[in-house]
């Protein structure tokens, strides 16, 4: 009877699932590594340093890589194949490595979402309701994630007793506490991923920017809905096991689905967390091949002269707030030394405000040139403007 039930549940098995698992997860994990590497390069190049959200995403990647390695080991032992085709040794090692690498999943999930929350607060910081929502929700699910992580490690004393039945006098924690906590946490991840996409899209649509840019940013953010869908799949499968409905699917096969979706979810979250920063790659100034000779000569000539205070100011790094921050153009300005102008034109990054009357206390009275997040500039003539810049 048990054999018939096992065969009935195995009809849902997907042929070649271990191979599909390895190909998809390694592609996404490799992309996540590339995204994080480019993110750190851009932050160093454009900001001369890194912020807390960069380290959070790096920490999430450091937990994702070992879990990817563990999933690879489990697939090599036959994880994802129908249970009746596996030997006792294969089942033992699949169960063993599943528990060995399970603790890596929880930090990777909540650390990546902490990084995204910090970025979203920086981008949409003027929306107080969204800022509070992110802080409260992210704090709650982070605490729940830490609790789930602790319960995972406390399921058995010693921990190896979870897969090694030869260990005697082992102490076990009621698994329902861990299972229900994990289901609730996964449900929170699903809601968080969906609202982290929906709310920014609603905010972006109301911003004063071209419609084409609105649509582009909305499509970019909507891509992370895939992450929410994967998290939802994992929630459903985990809930089936928690309520005792595992007769609908083979235990080992269902566990593989959870591990597979977990690896996909974590890689996607890390990648989507890097997308806002990677948009600043357009700020890199790449020299043309025709100007390499002139640039080399300029470097040699500059090395023979002493840099003055004016040269040092012109060689200052790119302003602190890059394109992914302050998306709502909140009031924020940085003064540059320059000469007030009389004509108006357009040039990104500079604005000139003219004041009537001389006010010594006015910060614009001295130079009148500010760097803002607008795209309006006043200058005397285009030729002079190019020379001075």
Instruction: Report pLDDT for 278.
Output: 75
| pLDDT confidence of residue 143 | 96
Q: Cα–Cα–Cα angle for 194, 239, 79, nearest 5°? A: 100
Distance from C-alpha of 108 to C-alpha of 65, rounded to nearest angstrom? 9
Q: What are phi and psi of 269, to 5 degrees?
A: -65, -40
* pLDDT at residue 386 in the model: 45
Q: Is 269:227 a contact under the CB 8 Å cutoff?
A: yes
d(CA 244, CA 257) in angstroms, rounded, equals 17
- For residue 217, what pLDDT is reported? 66
Could you read off the pLDDT tens digit of each residue along the chain, which spans 389 residues?
334 444 444 445 566 888 999 999 999 999 999 999 999 988 888 777 788 889 999 999 999 999 999 999 999 999 988 888 889 999 999 999 999 999 999 999 999 999 999 988 988 888 899 999 999 999 999 999 999 999 999 999 999 999 998 888 899 998 889 989 999 999 999 899 888 878 887 887 777 777 666 666 666 666 667 778 888 888 888 888 777 766 666 778 888 888 999 999 999 999 988 877 776 666 666 554 444 444 444 544 554 444 444 444 444 444 444 444 444 444 444 444 444 444 444 444 444 444 444 444 444 444 444 444 444 444 444 444 444 44
How far is CA 205 from each of CA 130, 215, 222, rounded to the nearest angstrom?
15, 8, 13
Domains of the chain: 2-283 (1.20.1070), 331-389 (no CATH)
Q: Indicate the DSSP class of residue 104.
A: G
CA distance 322 to 368: 23
Question: Quick one: tokens of 372?
Answer: 């803002």
Tell me the two tokens of residue 357.
Answer: 């009357």
Question: CA–CA separation, 372 vs 389, rounded Å?
Answer: 16
Q: What pLDDT was estimated at residue 17?
A: 86
Gap between the Cα atoms of 188 and 103, Å rounded:
18
* H-assigned helices in 125-250: 128-153, 175-204, 211-222, 225-242
């Amino acid at each position: 009877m048990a054999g018939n039930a096992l065969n009935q549940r195995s009809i849902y098995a997907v042929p070649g699932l271990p191979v599909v698992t390895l190909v998809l997860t390694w592609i996404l994990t490799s992309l996540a590594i590339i995204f994080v590497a480019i993110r750190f390069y851009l932050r160093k190049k454009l900001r001369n340093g890194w912020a807390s959200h960069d380290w959070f995403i790096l920490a999430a990647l450091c937990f994702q890589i070992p879990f990817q390695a563990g999933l690879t080991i489990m697939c090599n032992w036959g994880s994802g194949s129908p249970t009746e085709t596996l030997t006792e040794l294969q089942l033992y090692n699949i169960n063993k490595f599943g528990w060995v690498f399970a603790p890596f999943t929880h930090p990777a999930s909540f650390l990546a979402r902490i990084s995204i929350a910090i970025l979203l607060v920086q981008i949409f910081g003027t929306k107080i309701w969204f800022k509070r929502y992110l802080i409260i929700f992210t704090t709650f699910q982070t605490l729940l994630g830490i609790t789930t992580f602790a319960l995972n490690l406390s399921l058995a004393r010693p921990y190896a007793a979870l897969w090694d039945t030869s260990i005697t006098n082992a102490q076990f924690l009621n698994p329902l506490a861990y299972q229900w906590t994990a289901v609730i946490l996964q449900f929170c991840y699903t809601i968080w991923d969906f609202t982290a996409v929906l709310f920014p899209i609603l905010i972006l649509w109301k911003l004063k920017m071209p419609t084409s840019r609105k649509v582009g940013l909305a499509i970019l953010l909507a891509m992370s809905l895939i992450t929410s869908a994967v998290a939802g799949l994992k929630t459903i499968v985990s809930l089936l096991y928690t309520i005792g409905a595992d007769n609908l699917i083979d235990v080992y096969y269902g566990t593989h689905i959870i591990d597979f979706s977990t690896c996909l979810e974590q890689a996607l979250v890390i990648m989507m967390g890097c997308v806002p920063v990677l948009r600043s790659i357009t700020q890199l100034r790449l020299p043309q091949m025709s100007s390499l000779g002139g640039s080399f000569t300029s470097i040699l000539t500059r090395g023979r002269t002493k840099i003055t205070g004016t040269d040092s100011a012109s060689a200052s790094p790119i302003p602190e707030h890059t394109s992914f921050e302050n998306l709502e153009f909140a009031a924020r300005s940085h003064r540059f030394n320059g000469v007030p102008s009389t004509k108006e034109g357009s040039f990104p990054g500079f604005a000139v405000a003219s004041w009537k009357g001389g006010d010594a206390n006015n910060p614009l009275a001295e130079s009148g040139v500010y760097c803002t997040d607008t795209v309006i500039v006043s200058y005397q003539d285009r030729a002079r403007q190019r020379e001075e810049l």
